[in-house]
Chain A
Amino acid sequence: MPSKSKEVEVTTLCLSIIREMTINEIQEEIIEEFAGFEDWMDKYAYLIELGTDLQGLDEQYQTDQNLIKGCQSKVWFNASLEEGKVKLEADSDAIIVKGIAALLIRVFNNQTPEDIMNADLNFIDEIGLKQHLSPTRSNGLVSMVKQIKMYGIAFNHVK
């Protein structure tokens, strides 16, 4: 399984070199990937792997300002705008949450503020993470998505 995900990562990388993938294309790809998992163990093991592999945030960015409120675990998102594209980085003290953040980064990183604003997220539902979506769920997936969208809106405004 780890080898598979590496493969996917490489493919993703190649594809994004050839042509930038759209948010929806990336979502489709994630959904397909998750469809291959037999049970929850595989799925969560993958999230753990994603979380472990995601390069964290430099401590200087682990600020209260970047901290996403309403989570039982700490999650930080840092965003910047480079050549019209939003660059996202994230960190969390909980690995699975970090893994989920990694998926969000995969979807939203390098997209334009407009595309982020208008994105219709369906992959969370589809890969069975919906249980983490309700507004009161303590891992704050909702808050993470909201924060990313806020970045989109803010950068769109700046532009």
Chain B
Amino acid sequence: MTLDINKIRKDFPILQEKVHGKDLVYFDNAATSQKPTQVIDEMVKYYYKYNSNIHRGVHYLSNKSTDGNENARKIVQNFINAEHLHEIIFTRGTTESINLVANSFAERYIGEGDEVIVSEMEHHSNIVPWQLVCEKKKAVLKVIPFNDNGELLVDQLDELITDRTKIVAVNHISNSLGTINPVQKIIDIAHARGVKVLVDAAQSVQHLKIDVQEWDVDFLVFSGHKLYGPTGIGVLYGKEDLLNEMPPWQGGGEMIKEVRFSGTTYNELPFKFEAGTPNYIDAIGLGAAIEYVENIGLENIDAYEQELLAYATEKLSSIDGLKIYGTAEHKTSVISFLVDGIHFYDMGMLLDQMGIAVRTGTHCTEPIMQHFGIDGTVRASFSFYNTKEEIDALYNGILKVCKMFVH
């Protein structure tokens, strides 16, 4: 099936906006995606008609909101094919999900001299929480390197793992390089050595179908806002037995069974890890976003985005002095680049004047920049609502900037 892009674009009101008097070209999708009316309307509907704090109410509205929240959980469960509904925990986003796992998992399983492995291409959100935990537990953080194409040297993983290694935490897709990492292989290697695996799917759930049972992954984390859903909601999937053994991370309402000063007992999964009033409206929005994406079909989305990636890669590569960072064989629709003699910040500022939104800087992946010996890049990331005409606009925009610098 080919996508009806014109129709799809009408679902995203912001795409009709003008920026500096020009048509908006939104190529900052890896940072956050735009939201279709289907998502916005669903959330507005709940605020207008059903809003009430969930779980503790006896009344109609509370039940409506509770149903909405739990229905969203069900949608997420099906989306990633989790075995149990209670393996889906709502968080504020990828970052919070990783912090939750890092803290709670470490509390239970990591001790002095133990090891955690991440990769050289992780987002800071999948580095810093582990560093904090390693510092606290006197554990060791090890790193899987990548080659100059931006491909993980997965073959080194087996050597990195020792009998002290407790967990490997890697991203499925790099937000700076676009690399699709061989997650199945990583999981298989780790599991063969009895090591757990967390996959950061912040950049992949919006592009590729994920089946946590097929992968046999121990933890999977992602954010709603990169998946056409609202900000402030994210997901932690964890295997039931692990989540049951891990201690709660945050304490408060909702996560308890009984509170006594002599000792408190905790609620069951998933509530044990959802302290405080949950962000149920955003959870409902996330549910609507997943339904929207599934209606279009991730395979269709991926096929079209691959087309955009190929087109853009070819066009941009033809520009004199332009270098793409991240040339892995398997990539999603992310292009990081620099043009000789032009600072990424200058490039971004001038493209902005033309209505083209790109991201500049380190993209929260400083180790990647250090690998290449650069301070940052310009990053254009495409979504299924983008078009080849917009890529032409980017191409022409870059040429225009180059011209301004020649004078």
Asked whether A73 lies within 8 Å of B345 as measured between CB atoms, the reply is yes
Asked whether A138 lies within 8 Å of B404 as measured between CB atoms, the reply is no
Q: How far is the CB of B340 from chain A (nearest CB, A)?
A: 13
Asked whether A94 lies within 8 Å of B343 as measured between CB atoms, the reply is yes
Q: How far is the CB of B138 from chain A (nearest CB, A)?
A: 31
Asked whether B345 lies within 8 Å of A41 as measured between CB atoms, the reply is no
Asked whether A41 lies within 8 Å of B404 as measured between CB atoms, the reply is yes
Q: Looking at the complex, which of B216-224, B240-248, B275-283, B346-354 is the stretch in contact with chain A?
A: B346-354
Q: How far is the CB of B342 from chain A (nearest CB, A)?
A: 8
Q: How far, in angstroms, from A49 to B353 measured CA to CA in the complex?
A: 17
Asked whether B345 lies within 8 Å of A138 as measured between CB atoms, the reply is yes
Residue of A41, A44, A73, A139 most packed against chain B (CB within 10 A): A73
Asked whether A72 lies within 8 Å of B361 as measured between CB atoms, the reply is yes
Q: Determine if B257 is an interface residue (Cβ-Cβ < 8 Å).
A: no
Report chain A residues within 8 Å CB of B344: 72
Per-residue CB proximity of B373-400 to A under 8 Å, as 1/0? Answer: 0011000000000000000000000000
Q: How far is the CB of B86 from chain A (nearest CB, A)?
A: 39
Asked whether B343 lies within 8 Å of A44 as measured between CB atoms, the reply is no
Q: How far, in angstroms, from A71 to B20 measured CA to CA in the complex?
A: 23
Asked whether B376 lies within 8 Å of A95 as measured between CB atoms, the reply is no
Contact of B345 among A44, A45, A48, A72 (CB under 8 A): A72
B interface residue count range (under 10 / 10 to 19 / 20 to 34 / 35 or more)? 10 to 19
Residue of B20, B349, B353 most packed against chain A (CB within 10 A): B349
Asked whether A95 lies within 8 Å of B405 as measured between CB atoms, the reply is yes
Q: How many residues of A contact B (CB 8 A)?
A: 17
B352's nearest neighbour on chain A, judged by CB, is A131
Interface SS of chain A: helix
Asked whether B343 lies within 8 Å of A48 as measured between CB atoms, the reply is no
Interface residues of B in 321-353 (CB under 8 A from A): 342-346, 349-350, 353
Q: How far is the CB of B105 from chain A (nearest CB, A)?
A: 33
Residue of B344, B376, B404 most packed against chain A (CB within 10 A): B404
Q: Which residues from chain B sit less than 8 Å from chain A, CB to CB? A: 20, 342-346, 349-350, 353, 360-361, 375-376, 404-405, 407
- A72-B360, A93-B375 known, 19 other contacts, Cβ within 8 Å: A40-B353, A41-B353, A44-B349, A44-B353, A44-B404, A48-B407, A72-B344, A72-B345, A73-B345, A73-B346, A74-B375, A93-B343, A94-B345, A94-B346, A95-B346, A95-B405, A96-B350, A97-B343, A139-B345
16 contacts between A and B (CB under 8 A): A41-B353, A44-B350, A45-B407, A48-B405, A48-B407, A49-B407, A72-B360, A72-B361, A93-B343, A94-B343, A96-B346, A97-B343, A97-B346, A138-B345, A138-B360, A139-B349
Q: Which residues from chain A sit less than 8 Å from chain B, CB to CB? A: 2, 40-41, 44-45, 48-49, 72-74, 93-97, 138-139
